[in-house]
Amino acid sequence: MLIICTRDNRVRNYPNSANTWGTVVAMNNANGPQAATQELQTLIGQLGPNEPLCLSAHGNDEEIGDEQSGGNNWGWSVNDIAGILRNSAPAGYSGPILIHACMEKVENFTARLALALEGQNVLNGVWIYGTNRDMDCSEGYPRPTKLDDNAALQSTRVGSQSTRGS
């Protein structure tokens, strides 16, 4: 499942490569921050036990959502997303997770998310992928079955403190 977690039409008008993720959902533009969080929880609750998940948004090393979050914009911290996954992902969830957003460092959103989930003792063994660079909004989505083959992605496994990639 690919979930577009921003109101920005540059991201919402995703490239055709999004269809490799199965279900593609652009969250409701009319949602305020609280309703957007509830929608995200509901969508993640619909995941299959090993279905790949991609969250596509603007981002940095500490949050994802709308660009320049604040006010009525959407924005989720690492701890917010960890809590949503903990409370909403199906029991025993084991699919890979891609955070398709800009990040800057090796200690980025994905690495911090893996540590937050490990600290909550949930989703152990799940691989979380992301970049440690800026991305163009028109950049395509890697195939969920080829995440390990993509040299542009960094991956971190929840519960093992293992990181591989660039």
pLDDT digits (tens, 9 = 90+) for 96-132: 999 999 888 878 899 999 999 999 999 999 999 998 8
What backbone phi and psi angles, to 5 degrees, belong to 116? -65, -40
pLDDT at 164 over 60: no
Which of the 8 DSSP states describes residue 127?
E
Cα(first)–Cα(last) distance of the chain, in Å?
25
158 close to 128: Cβ distance less than 8 angstroms: yes
Distance CA 84, CA 76 (A): 10
Alpha-helical runs (H) found in 62-141? 78-88, 109-119
0.85 exceeded by the pTM?
yes
pLDDT band, very low/low/confident/very high, at 17 (cuts 50, 70, 90): low
In the prediction, which pLDDT does 136 show? 75
Q: CA angle at residue 156 from 152 to 160, to 5 degrees?
A: 155
Helix (H, G, I), strand (E, B) or coil at 99: strand
| Nearest C-alpha neighbor of 126 from the set 85, 77, 79 | 85
Name the strand (E) or helix (H) holding 42. helix 33-45
Distance CA 67, CA 75 (A): 8
The β-bridge partners of 26 are 4
Measured over the CA atoms of residue 66, residue 2, residue 82 and residue 37, the dihedral's sign is: positive
